[in-house]
């Protein structure tokens, strides 16, 4: 039921996205216990569906009771020990956050930073990995702060050839574009529910290869997190409801429904839908003078980053975004960090990647900008 005190919003920002009514209905189902056979079977389904979506056979593929950022912590905290080297490929804010966490884990952090608006250079990554022979190489597949799509296959190949484990942030990519962890050689990946899965926030989705679990088992020191200790989690049998914590049961009902919706649509159709919506948006906003921040080959479909035209910046881009929210119920995001005030970030994620939503935004802007 819709609370009269909450306005309806079209969530076209950097996430969350709007949720399908079937997912909302799923979360409202009566609660059952974590050892109830019905829940055990739903959790099994969820984990199998996550394997298909992540493109992996990793047995340790599971939802974790935390947000996407907690998924990052689970990957890096387990795979790094004090003094280990990590190479982080940085194309924006979320790569920098990986570096910041790796520092906290006591690792020696080397960043390779891409040119503004571009993906990482394979050759520079390869040279850095060959020189440092790090324990971990970490990348962001879809950088939500800049709208950059990072191809990962070649970098992962070099990293593995030098013995490194590869960690991939799939928070914004999963469910909006193909992800193939096994084909790409990724050892640990994390995502979350609220972007292209169109599910309420609150769960991280993670997958760990055998190599990653082996690395966690052979640590010199136990990982400081008990709850997110992947060696411990791998020792629990698959789908075991306990895992030492009370699972977020209702959120897992919602996740199961969201994953089922993705399977009904099929990932290739879903990816084309995202691309078509992004192209229509980029074309439509050109009419107002917005120019894409990222060159075409590395432009994300689910998060379109555009330079705000000078006239709109002068008039106050933040107040225009506020007008869109107050008058039309449309949420979009501004830039963060050095791009604050410079760009808009428009999310067409999951359920929202539709031409009708693009048209709604363009129509509102036509009214506001004349
Ligand atoms: N990584 C990326 C690429 C993100 O876009 C986000 C959130 O926007 C995160 C990590 C952190 O996810 P969460 O907000 O679910 O903790």
Instruction: Specify the domain boundaries for CATH 3.90.1150.10 within the chain.
Output: 10-15+266-369
| For residues 226-241, average pLDDT | 84
Q: pLDDT at position 370, please?
A: 81
Strands (E), the chain: 10-11, 60-64, 85-90, 108-113, 136-140, 142-143, 148-149, 165-169, 188-192, 204-208, 291-292, 303-307, 330-331, 333-334, 343-347
Q: How far apart are CA 199 and CA 218, in angstroms?
A: 36
Percent residues over pLDDT 70 in the chain: 97
Length of the chain as a residue count:
370
DSSP per residue, 18-74: ---HHHHHHHTSPP--TTSHHHHHHHHHHHHHHHHHHT---SEEEEESS-HHHHHHH
Q: Tell which one of 172, 189, 200, 345 to mutate to probe ligand 1, the residue whose CB is within 8 A of the most ligand atoms.
A: 172
Q: Is the CB of 140 under 6 A from ligand 1?
A: yes
CB distance 67 to ligand 1 below 6 Å: yes
**Ligand 1 pocket test, candidate residues 13, 17, 66, 69, most atoms within 8 A of CB:** 69
Whether 192 is in the pocket of ligand 1, judged by its Cβ within 6 Å, is: yes
For residue 16, the CA-to-ligand 1 centroid distance in Å is 10
Which CATH number is 21-263 given? 3.40.640.10
CB atoms < 10 A from the CB of 360, how many?
16
Q: Kindly give the distance from the C-alpha atom of residue 155 to the centroid of ligand 1, in angstroms, as a whole number.
A: 22
Confirm if 62 and 56 have CB atoms less than 8 A apart. Answer: no
Residue that the structure tokens 């935004």 belong to: 361
pLDDT at position 22, please? Answer: 98
Q: Where in the chain is the domain with CATH 3.40.640.10?
A: 21-263
Q: What is the pLDDT of residues 38-85, one digit of tens each?
A: 999 999 999 999 999 999 999 999 999 999 999 999 999 999 999 999
Categorize the per-residue pLDDT at 2 as very low, low, confident or very high, splitting at 50, 70 and 90: low
231 within 8 A of 296, measured Cβ to Cβ: no
- Does the pLDDT value for residue 303 go beyond 60? yes
| Per-residue pLDDT tens digits for 145-194 | 999 999 999 999 999 999 999 999 999 999 999 999 999 999 999 999 99
Q: How far is the CA of 113 from the centre of ligand 1 (A)?
A: 19
Residue 249's pLDDT band (cuts 50, 70, 90): very high
**CATH architecture assigned to 10-15+266-369:** Alpha-Beta Complex (3.90)
Confidence of residue 1 (pLDDT cuts 50, 70, 90): low
- As a dihedral over the C-alpha atoms of residue 343, residue 168, residue 122, residue 89, rounded to 10 degrees, the angle is 60
CA of 315 to the centre of ligand 1 (A): 30
Ligand 1 and 68: CB distance under 6 A:
yes
pLDDT-based confidence at residue 244 (cuts at 50, 70, 90): confident
pLDDT at position 136: 98
Diameter over CA atoms, the chain: 64
Distance 101 CA to ligand 1 centre (A): 13
Output the pLDDT for position 237.
67
**Taking all residues of the chain, what is their mean pLDDT, rounded to a whole number?**
96
CA 96 to ligand 1 centroid distance, Å: 12
The string of pLDDT tens digits covering residues 100-126 is: 999 999 999 999 999 999 999 999 999
The single-letter DSSP state of residue 227 is T
Which position has the higher pLDDT, 354 or 236?
A: 354
């Amino acid at each position: 039921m819709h609370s009269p005190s909450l306005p309806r919003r079209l969530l076209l920002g950097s996430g969350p996205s709007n949720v399908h009514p079937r997912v909302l209905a799923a979360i409202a189902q009566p609660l059952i216990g974590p050892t109830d056979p019905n829940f055990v079977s739903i959790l099994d389904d969820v984990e199998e569906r996550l394997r298909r979506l992540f493109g992996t056979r990793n047995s340790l593929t599971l939802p974790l009771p935390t947000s996407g950022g907690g998924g990052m912590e689970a990957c890096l905290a387990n795979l790094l020990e004090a003094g280990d080297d990590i190479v982080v490929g940085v194309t924006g804010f979320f790569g920098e956050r990986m570096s910041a966490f790796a520092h906290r884990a006591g690792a020696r952090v080397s960043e390779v930073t891409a040119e503004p608006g571009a993906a990482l250079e394979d050759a520079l990554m390869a040279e850095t990995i060959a020189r440092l022979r790090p324990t971990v190489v970490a990348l962001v597949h879809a950088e939500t702060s800049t709208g950059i799509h990072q191809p990962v296959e070649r970098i992962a190949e070099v990293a593995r050839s030098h013995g490194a484990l590869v960690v991939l942030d799939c928070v914004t990519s999963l469910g909006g574009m193909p992800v193939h962890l096994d084909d790409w050689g990724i050892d640990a990946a994390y995502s979350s529910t609220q972007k292209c899965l169109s599910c309420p926030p609150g769960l991280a989705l993670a997958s760990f290869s055998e190599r990653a679990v082996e690395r966690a088992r052979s640590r010199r020191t136990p990982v400081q997190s008990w709850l997110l200790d992947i060696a411990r989690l791998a020792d629990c049998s698959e789908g075991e409801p306990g895992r030492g914590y009370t699972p977020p049961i209702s959120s897992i009902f919602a996740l199961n429904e969201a994953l089922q919706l993705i399977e009904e649509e099929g990932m290739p159709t879903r990816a084309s839908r995202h691309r078509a919506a992004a192209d229509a948006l980029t074309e439509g906003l050109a009419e107002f003078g917005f120019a894409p921040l990222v060159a075409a080959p590395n432009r994300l479909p689910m998060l379109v980053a555009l330079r705000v035209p000078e006239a709109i910046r002068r008039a106050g881009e933040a107040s225009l975004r506020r007008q869109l929210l107050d008058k039309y119920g449309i949420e979009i995001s501004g830039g963060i960090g050095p791009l604050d005030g410079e760009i808009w970030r428009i999310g067409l994620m999951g359920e929202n990647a539709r031409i009708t939503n693009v048209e709604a935004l363009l129509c509102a802007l036509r009214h506001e900008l004349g």
